[in-house]
Structure 1
Amino acid sequence: MKIKFLIFIITISSSFLFVNAQERTKDTIDDQVVNVVKPYTPTISDAFKIKDTPKLTDSNTVKKKEVKYNIFSIPVASTFTPAKGKAAKVDKAKFVKLYDNYASLGVGTYTTILGEIYLNHELSSGENVGGYFSHHSSAGGIDSLLLDDDFSKTNLNVHYSQKLRDFSWKVDGGFELQSYNWYGLTDGFYTEELIGMIDPGHSFNSFYVGGKLKFDDAIIKDGSVRFRRFGDNQDSGENRFVAKASFDVPIQDETINTEFSIDYIGGSFDRNYDTENELKYGNVTFGLAPSYQMTEDDLTIDLGVKLVFLNDTEFSDNKFFIYPNIEASYRLVDEILIAYGGIKGDLIQNSYYDFANENPFVSPTLLITPTDQQLRGFVGLKGKLSNNVSYNIKGNYYSEKGKALYKGNDIVQAPEEEYQYGNSFGIVYDDVTTFSVAGELNIDVNRNFTLGIKGEYFNYNVDKQAEPWNLPDVTGSIFLDYQISEQWFAGASMYFVGERKDQRSVAGTLVNSEPVSVILDSYFDANAHVGYKINDQLSVFGKVNNIANQDYNRWINFPVQGIQFLAGATYQFDF
């Protein structure tokens, strides 16, 4: 209303002014119309608020009726008297006493003796001293053998360790004694009189000393050194020294994990297999392996390379090798499905000690040289099917130059040594590519039952040799442990090894025969054990090996013992 009133006043005033102006300029100015327009500018007073709850003025409005609640209770006399409550008792698990030391002794068929002693004593907080002793021997007795087949293996190790504020260290040393027999003769080649003159015994001895050092918070994370002297009763000897260290190299905000290694080996054999010329070998390698780890959500990648410099001290030859060192993993479905893969390589340092431990029937006439593992590629899937079941499926590819293969030595017509009757093995080297597919399944139902199953298939391709000597096409194993009750426990293990191939040949001027390939049948070996815990410290056990009583050949002309029984006891104690 105020706006309209103002407009009205302005209009009247303008009319009066216009009339006066017309009268003054009547003679020179034409009539004109002036329209004054003012935009509307609202003020706060023009607005009004709508009430949330409008007030009703209707006389017919119905008023709310007040509701009253009544409980019709009837008094009842009660004679119930509640009993006093008692808290439920929680069954406490029986405290299991853990001992630092144990001794075990068992005896069995084939005059087998098996003994172990483990000692560990805490001198002070973080300071320990201990040792380990083991012995396994058998007087032999395999049927239809012409030579003795007894064996013995004894190990002794002592160690001392200390844990300090910023680092820990450990030193250890020991020796190993082993004795075997070259009892694998081929029938029909030698007279009984000559065989009776053979002394097939072959013994090994080894002494070693080493140490480890680990830092908690430093650029150098850990390091280790080890020296081993290995020899036999055939005037063979080998020295090996290995030193390793790992450290972190910071670059800006990133860290490069680096490993450095030195590996020296040198040894000699009294003679060659065919001649009396002495065999010597020796080399030293220097390795450097930097790597960088990248992590992005569920993806982890290790990018690295390994550099190896080889100096052949016997032939004054130097070589340099570069190997990939790449590995990655990706969690497809949390812990259920994890994909992984990698491409790696390495220069493998072969040694007389390693060959003799894998095949104790080798002859002391070996050519020792490293293997160039140019490529080792793998890809696989692993994870958990449930909280108690885990799996791993893996495919492998190896490209190895100068891979060591065990091959039966020639049968010499006029042997001069005990290992020249075709009853020993030598080493041949060849370029081998290997493809394999492996699977693994682990079942942990609870703490009382565990089951593991493994299997792998191999396919080989050799370059110069006729066959991949003594390499199986299939391997498999099953392991089982079961805690039947608080006192009873049991377990079992089964192994399967597929077919292998070896070669038999005769060397001499009087016989001209071509080498003959021999197929070694696959074999299955089942073992089981059971035990009873008399008290916290003493328990007794029984073992059965080669339950199927198979007389299979692990190596050509080397059958194993049949079914074996062994019984013994284990005692745990503290000082």
Structure 2
Amino acid sequence: MNFIATKSLSSIRLASIGLIPNKTSIRLSSISLFLNKASIRLSSIGLIPNKTSIRLSSICLLSITSVVFAQKKDENIGTEVVNVVKPYSPTISDAFKVKETPSFDDDETSKKENIQYNIFSFPVASTFTPSKGRAANVDKTAAEKYFKNYITLAAGNFGTINAELFVTENVSNTDYFGGMLRHNSTQGGVKDVQLDDKLYNTSLDLTYGSRTRALTWNADAGYQHQVYNWYGIYPNFFNQATIDGINSQQTYQNLYLGGRLSLGDSFLKESTLKFNRFWDAYGSAENHFVVQPNLEFDIVSEKINIGIVLDYISGSFDNSFNTLTSFKYGYTNVGIQPSIQLQKDDLSVNAGVGIFYSAAQELGESKFFIYPQVIGSYKVVGDLMIAYAGVEGTLKQNAYKEFVDQNFFLSPTIFVAPTDQKYDVFFGLKGKLANAVSYNMRASYLNEDNKPLFKNNGYEELVGNEGYRFGNSFGVAYDNIKTFSFFGELNADFSKNVSFGINGTFSSYTSDIEAEAWNLPSLNLGANLDVNITPKWYAGAKVFFVGERKDFVHYAASIPVPADATVTLESYFDVNAHIGYKYSDRLNFFLKGNNLANQDYQRWLNFRVQGLQVMAGASYKFDF
């Protein structure tokens, strides 16, 4: 600042005394003007105060005026150029700090304008009149009419006939009566069979019951008549004279009485009773009586269940396989199975124990058994994934009738005894992959003593000529079997018109006495599909696969074949399908096909099945 002031005063003195010419004074004026502009800029950026800039401007303006007047006073003074150059170097004290939040003196910046909106509307003529809304109608199919009774008749190749009649009627508001008549027969026709292979199966079941809020009961009675043939001899092995002398037919008959009782608000829940009288054409007979009352109590917030079992069986056979000696069997099994149900959040446990006593009336020993019976489940992810596990054991009463239901070709010379199922340890996962897709996976280890195995009887030349002594019948061998198995299944209802299911079981067996676990397959697979093609047409299919099995062959030494040998039965699969047409609410037509692959497989050793089977029929529904 001092420099600018001194410079202006110097120019005034020089001009006034005529020491510098007019041009020089003009240059100095230019310099002063330049400095004046510089001072304005410094003031605008805050490096010098406003008052200082005003003084500088006044001094510069006086300098310019003095120089002009000086030039006019003396125009003969010699010229001399004096260039004084000195850059301006401001110091910190020459500037002031800029405020972080500047103040505004302008009132217009803070003034808010109030904006008002005005809508100018005018009526428009219209003939539209809105109607009152209502819910849209939902399209729904008419409910299929329910009929209480039906009759089915069908016939097919191999002389197959199938008939069913089911009737039920309400006797009163609480009582009802029902009955079922079934018949299934075929005239045989198995490939390369030398003996008669026809079969008949006819049964009649009747029931009468009553349902009220306080009491529900029903009484059952029935009769079954079955005819089968031991046709499973080696083809072309025996001469024709021997074959002609074989009576291969066996007849089974069963008469049963039973009932069920349930008291609604009582501690006595559902209790069952059943009596079977089973006999055959070779003088074998069996009586089987079972009573199972079930008690249930609520103690505090827990539920106590007590199951009671009274199982009595007795029977006799006129002959044993190797001798003509008759023998009897009989057991009375009494058991009590208390359990408690525990529920907490997603965890559910049913913990119990089974206590049994088995008393042998004829052959065998009387024993006392205790079994664990604990099952638990936990919802890992709601219903999507449920983990479950448990250990169960029980005393299972075997019976001649139950053996025949599994294998029709038993000889009437077997021994019947109960099975000690020590424990079955299992764990698995079940749940849903989607709303319509469910799954179940289970691994288990089963330990059984005295487990029955179906084993071929073989041939004894000099024992007798009964129809079951030609290597064409089976006996029952008991062994201690340990079974490790894995089971899995998947079921899907893709829509109300399409459903699909698949399942499989893999098993591994360990035996103690027998060389193999006879006739137990290591692999079982199955699948089913049901489709409603249209409201009138429907169809379905079932496929199953059975893996290899082992069996034992024994022949007398005089026969030129290996005396003893273990044979392997090949695995097989079967495809069954059906298609139907709903002619009306009452009348349906259907077409069924079994063994569509036309496989000549062996279900049991030397017992082959019929080939492709086709059957057509109709079903009619009605009311009285």
TM-score (norm 1): 0.86
Q: Distance in 2 between matches of 1:258 and 1:296?
A: 21
| Matched AA of 1:169 | W
Q: Distance in 2 between matches of 1:253 and 1:98?
A: 42
Match of 1:352 in 2: 400
- Please point out which of 350, 355, 358 is paired with 1:302: 350
| Matched AA of 1:106 | A
Report the CA distance shift for 1:438/1:177 in structure 2 as closer, same or farther (over 3 A): same
State the Cα distance separating 1:63 from its structure 2 match. 9.5
State the Cα distance separating 1:85 from its structure 2 match. 7.2
Q: Distance in 2 between matches of 1:373 and 1:90?
A: 56
Q: Is 1:279 matched up with 2:361?
A: no
| Matched AA of 1:499 | E
Greater shift, 308-317 or 66-75, is seen at 66-75
- Please point out which of 379, 401, 409 is paired with 1:361: 409
Q: Is the 8 A contact 2:302 2:342 kept in 1?
A: no
Match of 1:421 in 2: 470
Deviations 1:313-356 (Å, cap 9, x if unpaired)?
Answer: 11484210000000000011111111001001111111100111
Q: Is 1:504 matched up with 2:553?
A: yes
Q: Distance in 2 between matches of 1:346 and 1:116?
A: 37
State the Cα distance separating 1:194 from its structure 2 match. 1.2
Q: Distance in 1 between matches of 2:300 and 2:505?
A: 45
State the Cα distance separating 1:521 from its structure 2 match. 0.3
Q: Is 1:339 matched up with 2:339?
A: no
Report the CA distance shift for 1:330/1:116 in structure 2 as closer, same or farther (over 3 A): same
- Please point out which of 225, 231, 235 is paired with 2:273: 225
Match of 1:72 in 2: 120
State the Cα distance separating 1:416 from its structure 2 match. 2.2
State the Cα distance separating 1:270 from its structure 2 match. 0.6
| Matched AA of 1:432 | I
Q: Distance in 2 between matches of 1:122 and 1:198?
A: 51
Match of 1:524 in 2: 573
State the Cα distance separating 1:446 from its structure 2 match. 2.1
Summarize the alignment of residues 413-452 of structure 1 with structure 2, pairs less than 5 Å apart.
413-414=461-462, 415-452=464-501
Match of 1:266 in 2: 314
Report the CA distance shift for 1:350/1:309 in structure 2 as closer, same or farther (over 3 A): same
State the Cα distance separating 1:508 from its structure 2 match. 5.5
Report the CA distance shift for 1:384/1:188 in structure 2 as closer, same or farther (over 3 A): same
Match of 1:538 in 2: 587
Q: Distance in 2 between matches of 1:266 and 1:313?
A: 8
State the Cα distance separating 1:163 from its structure 2 match. 1.0
Q: Is 1:391 matched up with 2:439?
A: yes
- Please point out which of 77, 93, 103 is paired with 2:141: 93
Q: Is 1:484 matched up with 2:484?
A: no
Q: Is the 8 A contact 2:542 2:575 kept in 1?
A: yes
For the residue of structure 1 that corresponds to 2:376, the secondary structure is: strand
State the Cα distance separating 1:92 from its structure 2 match. 4.2
Deviations 1:233-265 (Å, cap 9, x if unpaired)?
Answer: 000000000000110245565432110010000
Q: Distance in 1 between matches of 2:461 and 2:441?
A: 50
Report the CA distance shift for 1:221/1:89 in structure 2 as closer, same or farther (over 3 A): closer
- Please point out which of 370, 375, 382 is paired with 1:327: 375
Q: Is the 8 A contact 2:302 2:341 kept in 1?
A: no
Q: Is the 8 A contact 2:174 2:210 kept in 1?
A: yes
State the Cα distance separating 1:67 from its structure 2 match. 5.2
For the residue of structure 2 that corresponds to 1:198, the secondary structure is: coil
State the Cα distance separating 1:64 from its structure 2 match. 8.1
Report the CA distance shift for 1:249/1:546 in structure 2 as closer, same or farther (over 3 A): same
Report the CA distance shift for 1:316/1:403 in structure 2 as closer, same or farther (over 3 A): closer
Name the structure where strand makes up a greater proportion of residues: 1
Unmatched tracts of structure 1, length 5 or more: 1-58
Q: Distance in 1 between matches of 2:370 and 2:123?
A: 98
Q: Is the 8 A contact 2:197 2:228 kept in 1?
A: yes
- Please point out which of 487, 496, 516 is paired with 1:467: 516
Q: Distance in 2 between matches of 1:76 and 1:163?
A: 72
State the Cα distance separating 1:509 from its structure 2 match. 6.9
Q: Distance in 1 between matches of 2:484 and 2:140?
A: 53
Match of 1:559 in 2: 608
Deviations 1:437-494 (Å, cap 9, x if unpaired)?
Answer: 1100000112211111000101000111111100001001001111111110111101
Q: Distance in 2 between matches of 1:273 and 1:511?
A: 22
Match of 2:304 in 1: 256
State the Cα distance separating 1:72 from its structure 2 match. 2.8
Deviations 1:144-176 (Å, cap 9, x if unpaired)?
Answer: 110011001111001011012311000010101
- Please point out which of 88, 111, 134 is paired with 2:182: 134
For the residue of structure 2 that corresponds to 1:221, the secondary structure is: coil
For the residue of structure 1 that corresponds to 2:245, the secondary structure is: coil
Q: Is 1:124 matched up with 2:192?
A: no
For the residue of structure 1 that corresponds to 2:242, the secondary structure is: helix
Structure whose CA Rg is larger: 2
Q: Distance in 1 between matches of 2:580 and 2:125?
A: 66
Deviations 1:403-459 (Å, cap 9, x if unpaired)?
Answer: 100000121224421100000000101111000011000001122111110001010
Q: Distance in 1 between matches of 2:282 and 2:366?
A: 31
Q: Distance in 1 between matches of 2:577 and 2:301?
A: 55
Q: Distance in 2 between matches of 1:131 and 1:252?
A: 44
Q: Is 1:111 matched up with 2:111?
A: no
Summarize the alignment of residues 8-27 of structure 1 with structure 2, pairs less than 5 Å apart.
none
**Number of equivalent positions:** 516
Q: Is the 8 A contact 2:328 2:363 kept in 1?
A: no
State the Cα distance separating 1:73 from its structure 2 match. 3.0
Q: Percent identity?
A: 42
| Matched AA of 1:539 | N
CA RMSD of aligned residues (A): 2.1
Q: Is 1:181 matched up with 2:229?
A: yes
For the residue of structure 2 that corresponds to 1:507, the secondary structure is: coil
Q: Distance in 1 between matches of 2:320 and 2:452?
A: 17
For the residue of structure 2 that corresponds to 1:194, the secondary structure is: helix
Report the CA distance shift for 1:180/1:69 in structure 2 as closer, same or farther (over 3 A): same
- Please point out which of 207, 216, 228 is paired with 1:168: 216
Deviations 1:496-549 (Å, cap 9, x if unpaired)?
Answer: 000001011113678795411110000000000000000000010000100000
Q: Distance in 2 between matches of 1:375 and 1:66?
A: 89
Match of 2:70 in 1: none
For the residue of structure 2 that corresponds to 1:364, the secondary structure is: coil
For the residue of structure 2 that corresponds to 1:195, the secondary structure is: helix
Unmatched tracts of structure 2, length 5 or more: 1-106
Q: Distance in 2 between matches of 1:550 and 1:535?
A: 36
State the Cα distance separating 1:66 from its structure 2 match. 6.2
Q: Is 1:201 matched up with 2:249?
A: yes
Deviations 1:91-150 (Å, cap 9, x if unpaired)?
Answer: 343132111111101000000001111111011212110101111100011121100110
Q: Distance in 2 between matches of 1:81 and 1:513?
A: 101
Match of 2:91 in 1: none
For the residue of structure 1 that corresponds to 2:269, the secondary structure is: strand
| Matched AA of 2:440 | N
